[in-house]
Structure 1
């Protein structure tokens, strides 16, 4: 059995699809399963059992079958959520419980961290574990992820293999339920389809021109490739960046969407919402040396190629 938490979500549902394609059919899907739109991500996938996240720990204690791996992708991922108690419960504490289960039952673990832990990038974007306690996330979501990373590194007991993955700006099919938190590509496709134009956030940082804010956009297929590779590798435990390794501008991204849709470019700028303006990352770029040094050699999908593939799936 392979357990995948956050199963109906964006990244996890893509992971389950890949596992199915690789011949893994005994998938235990853990989630809240209360969002009908989100649940459509699981249609057509082979799943042995669905387990509500609130009874997961009771369920796993009763299992006698061998659990081969846990992918803990589930989390409260809204970067505008300011309920610190809720974020601690769902992101930090829940992951601590899974960690301890993996020690008790000798199960290897991959869990989702986040590039939001890097804050403004004052210390760069290198996944050096010695720097993690010094990071300053810009929001409670980033804090909740960083708190677990710090906790995990301090533990004297650890799963025999574990990896925390700092996801950068992941995009791809299966994110339509995320609303405001969906990738700019999905928002751009919708706006362009409806209005023939796209509005981007204006820069409020004198070091960046409008549209020149840069992020490390990584295609979900590449993210899944890394997770599956680590599942088979099962060596070199630790915390790893997971981005493309190349920062690109939002203008690059939106122009690629226009091109993929066969539409003429029409781009304007609006103020960044006040509630996120002082928490906005103007630049992120994953340093991918650490993952490559342990043997991961697959290339990452160039932005234009990934956008073209994604837009073709949206059209379909």
Structure 2
């Protein structure tokens, strides 16, 4: 028997890929998005499918639907966007979680929270295991997102303990791929767009800060395996554990695009983490999941997408 699955933030970058995959397995999908950062273009082809339903809705308000599973991806995820309206960012993480947890409680649905590596802040432990509590500035410009996601995790586990709710918590590390917004301010899309347009590539700080980049198809695999696992609650890291500096990423993008872009340097933004790499031991052991798409392969697919957008 196929499930009826709610995906909040379903018109977003990751959400649209998730909806597509869930539909391919013959599930009925209810996609909810307020289009603050999602795009109808991402799900245009899915609208033709009779098992796909789109609802324009803000999760800060209660939602009344009947579902078997809930993936909560509702929240702007790029610093550029979530810092534009920090109060709304906190509300989406906290009020939105409360509303969706209430829905899960009423319908007895399993619910997955798309948390983030940002809960680790600027980490003093490297790579970051799920047991690490993090090093987060509670009053900085990124706090609306970092602390909002941390509070959402608290709510999920309190509902789990108090109401025996069937929850899953995934801590998502940097993810990239087709359908990223060209102007979303994330490093992969920034570098690709600057390279394709022949502009200087902006490096913040000395470029030695590092990140680990997970291709979106790998991440969607991980989310679905976690959701359908009977034994794993989380929190569990999902990402790619290959680590690259910003300079290394910029050099790869310049090489793959054949661009003549030069590098320019600007001051490092406040609270920008110096390093970020997931410890994937739990994902590999408990879920049997690990990423398979190498950075250059994923970048080529992403560059191909942006080339078509320009």
TM-score (norm 2): 0.85
Given the alignment of the two structures, is residue 241 of structure 1 paired with residue 237 of structure 2, yes or no? Answer: yes
Contact 1:240 1:291 survives alignment (8 Å): yes
Return the offset for 1:171: 0.8
Return the alpha-carbon distance in structure 1 between the equivalents of residues 223 and 112 of structure 2.
8
CA contact under 8 A between 2:226 and 2:232: conserved in structure 1?
A: no
CA contact (8 A) 1:72 1:111 kept: yes
Contact 1:107 1:159 in 2 (8 A): no
Structure 1 residues 2 and 159, CA, compared in 2 at 3 Å: closer, same or farther? farther
Contact 2:178 2:301 in 1 (8 A): no
Deviation per CA, 1:168-202: give whole Å up to 9, x if none: 1111111126x243x3232222222222x542324
C-alpha separation in 1, matches of 2:158 and 2:302: 40
Number of residue-to-residue matches in the alignment = 293
SS across alignment from 1:176:
coil
CA shift for structure 1 position 299: 3.5
For the Cα contact (< 8 Å) 1:123–1:135, is it kept in 2?
Answer: no
Task: Select which of 135, 148, 151 maps to 2:155.
Answer: 151
The 5-angstrom pairing of residues 1-316 of structure 1 reads: 1-24=4-27, 26-33=28-35, 38-45=39-46, 46=49, 48-54=52-58, 57-60=62-65, 63=66, 67-79=67-79, 81=83, 85-124=87-126, 125-128=128-131, 131-132=132-133, 135-137=135-137, 139-140=142-143, 141-155=145-159, 156-157=161-162, 160-176=165-181, 179-181=183-185, 183-195=186-198, 197-203=199-205, 210-263=206-259, 266-272=261-267, 277-316=269-308
Contact 1:16–1:27 (Cα < 8 Å) also in 2: yes
1:71 shift after superposition: 0.6
Gaps of at least 5 residues in structure 2 are none
TM-score (norm: length of structure 1): 0.83
Cα gap change, 1:240 to 1:309, in 2 (>3 Å)? same
- Contact preservation (8 Å) 2:8, 2:73: yes
DSSP-derived class of the 1:185 partner: helix
Contact 1:168/1:286 (8 A) holds in 2: yes
Judging changes above 3 Å, is the alpha-carbon distance between structure 1 residues 23 and 260 closer, same or farther for their aligned structure 2 residues? farther
* Distance change in 2, residues 1:198/1:17 (3 Å): farther
For structure 1, which segment, 138-147 or 213-222, has the greater mean C-alpha deviation from structure 2 after superposition?
A: 138-147
User: How far apart in 1 are the matches of 2:92 and 2:252?
Assistant: 36
Using the alignment, how far apart are the partners of 2:35 and 2:151 within structure 1?
A: 27
| SS of structure 2 residue aligned to 1:294 | helix
Q: Tell me how far 1:153 sits from its aligned partner.
A: 2.9
DSSP 3-state at the match of 1:241: strand
User: What is the aligned partner in structure 2 of residue 206 from structure 1?
Assistant: none
**CA 1:287 to 1:173, structure 2 compared with 1: closer, same or farther past 3 Å?**
same
How far off its partner does 1:21 sit?
2.5
